[in-house]
Amino acid sequence: MTPSPSVEPRKTNLLTDTDHLSPEPASATDLRPVSQEETGSRSDRQSFSGKREAEPDRKERNDRIGSVESSDLVKPVGLIQPSAQPLLSVRGLQKHFPVRSALGRRTGSVQAVNDVSFDIYPGETFGLVGESGCGKSTTGRAVMNLIEPTGGEVWYEGQDLAKLKGARLKNMRSNIQMVFQDPYTSLDPRRRIGYAIEEPLHIHRRGSKNERTERAMSLLERVGFRPDQYYRYPHEFSGGQRQRIGIAKALALEPKLLICDEPVSALDVSIQSQVINLLEEIQQERGLSYLFVAHDLSVVRHIADRVGVMYLGGLVEQAPTDELFGNPLHPYTQSLLSAVPIPNPRVKKERVVLSGEVPSPLNPPSGCTFHTRCPFAMDVCRSVVPERVQASPGHEVQCHLYAT
Ligand SMILES: Nc1ncnc2c1ncn2[C@@H]1O[C@H](COP(=O)(O)OP(=O)(O)OP(=O)(O)O)[C@@H](O)[C@H]1O
Ligand code: SF4
Ligand SMILES: [Mg+2]
């Protein structure tokens, strides 16, 4: 069985910035959220400017989930039609982590990811956003098979990854690589960076020693270093430089899909734009697809073609980026986006602050998991899990307000 695509890919002309590897850092930036009017979305953007807010901690991030404008709610307008073949199809993905007592008895499970489905098409970027702890990283790790899913399916180029074994699985895995939030964790401090980049080639027995070294040097050049920096150690580089080395390492096996888990969150604001612009250039050159996990909406709006919104392990809404930011349907998405200020002082929003804490994934609420905080919750929301509704082409929402 091959899963049918559920959404239509959006084709965009990607813009590049050849200045991104300038040794001079970008000019000082103001630390505040950036609105649509300032950044533009993927379809009309220039290179990422680095105008960003300061990195908040987990509690601050969650406290920001602010308010909802009830008049923004609209009814669905039609069903979507499938089109191109996806590179990656995730269907009903689940990951539950067992919780055990001191005696080793299983006492429950953390429902980190629950029934998540999405597609990623060749050459596109699918952004995943949501509060801290909602399951973004777990989704990325389960897609990559770094952790075994509890349930669901991950299809890559029409093949079910769970059914692949041995050399075929190894080969398939080389097509999906990861860029981590903290590249230091993936670089051995005792090894020269050239070796780190060569390592995947060595593991997959690609090329001779000389060919591997040549490839590592050429990748280093591609991400903005001199070939002789091959012989340096990770501690000799800054955070942004290490992230570029991490990207070179991820590219070594010529993957088709990169899972980027908060690749710029740990970087200085002025360096973030360099890394984002580099990722965009590389995507354009090589036709790569990205699963781009982030909590920063301005970054996701800039880089993603389509965006999925996660809440408590579930994917509650997904849509093309412009559509999601211009017409958010799920009350949670609306509250998430309302944290982005509107620069026009004449535009007033009726704000409804979300009440209550994020429930524990150990014991998620019944029915719609958002009902404990949703200002529009109805009786049915407390007991019945909402179905996914195609609100418009490519726009999917899981909420009883849109039930047909
Ligand atoms: N190995 C693990 N064992 C038990 N629970 C885990 C494990 N990994 C993640 N979790 C839990 O799963 C849930 C989802 O975690 P995950 O790291 O995927 O969230 P996230 O959306 O990436 O958050 P953040 O934005 O902070 O990175 C959290 O409640 C987390 O505590
Ligand atoms: S299903 Fe109900 S509780 Fe959930 S988001 Fe929709 S209205 Fe709110
Ligand atoms: Mg994470």
Write out pLDDT tens, residues 45-79.
566 664 444 444 444 434 433 333 333 323 233 33
The answer, yes or no, to whether any atom of ligand 2 lies below 6 A from the CB of 331, is yes
Q: Which amino acid is at 332?
A: Y
Residue 98, burial from CB neighbour count under 10 angstroms (0-12, 13-18, 19+): exposed
How far away, in angstroms, is 156 Cα from ligand 3 center? 23
Query: Which pLDDT value is given to residue 80?
Result: 32
**What pLDDT band is residue 44 in, cutting at 50, 70 and 90?**
low
pTM of the shown model: 0.82
Which strands form 159-160's sheet, in the order they lie side by side? 106-120, 88-100, 151-156, 159-160
Q: Which ligand has the shortest distance to the CA of 130? A: 1
User: Which residue has its alpha carbon closest to ligand 2 atom 3?
Assistant: 371
Query: Which pLDDT value is given to residue 339?
Result: 72
The answer, yes or no, to whether any atom of ligand 2 lies below 6 A from the CB of 376, is yes
Query: Which pLDDT value is given to residue 128?
Result: 97
Q: Which atom of ligand 2 is nearest to the CA of 371?
A: 3
Write out pLDDT tens, residues 312-343.
999 999 999 999 999 999 999 999 988 766 66
**What pLDDT band is residue 182 in, cutting at 50, 70 and 90?**
confident
**What pLDDT band is residue 82 in, cutting at 50, 70 and 90?**
very low
Is the pLDDT assigned to residue 109 strictly greater than 60?
Answer: yes
The helix (H) or strand (E) run that includes residue 128 is: strand 125-129
User: How far lies 42's CA from each of 4, 78, 177, 211, 394, in Å?
Assistant: 26, 24, 23, 37, 16
Write out pLDDT tens, residues 207-227.
999 999 999 999 999 999 998
Pick from 62, 134, 138 the residue to mutate for probing ligand 1's pocket: most ligand atoms within 8 Å of its CB: 138
User: How far lies 252's CA from each of 99, 156, 216, 290, in Å?
Assistant: 37, 19, 7, 16
Comparing C-alpha atoms, which of 282, 225, 208, 213 is closest to residue 251?
A: 282
Q: Which ligand has the shortest distance to the CA of 139? A: 1
User: Which residue has its alpha carbon closest to ligand 1 atom 11?
Assistant: 112
Domain positions in the chain: 36-175+255-402
* CATH homologous superfamily for the domain 36-175+255-402: P-loop containing nucleotide triphosphate hydrolases (3.40.50.300)
Residue entry with tokens 């990656």: 88
Residue length of the chain: 404
Write out pLDDT tens, residues 9-32.
333 332 223 233 333 323 222 222
Is the pLDDT assigned to residue 180 strictly greater than 70?
Answer: yes
> What percentage of the chain reaches a pLDDT higher than 70?
76
Identify the DSSP state of 373: T
Query: Which pLDDT value is given to residue 169?
Result: 84
The tally of CA atoms less than 13 A away on the side-chain side of residue 398 is 23
Asked if 193 and 233 touch (Cβ cutoff 8 Å), the reply is yes
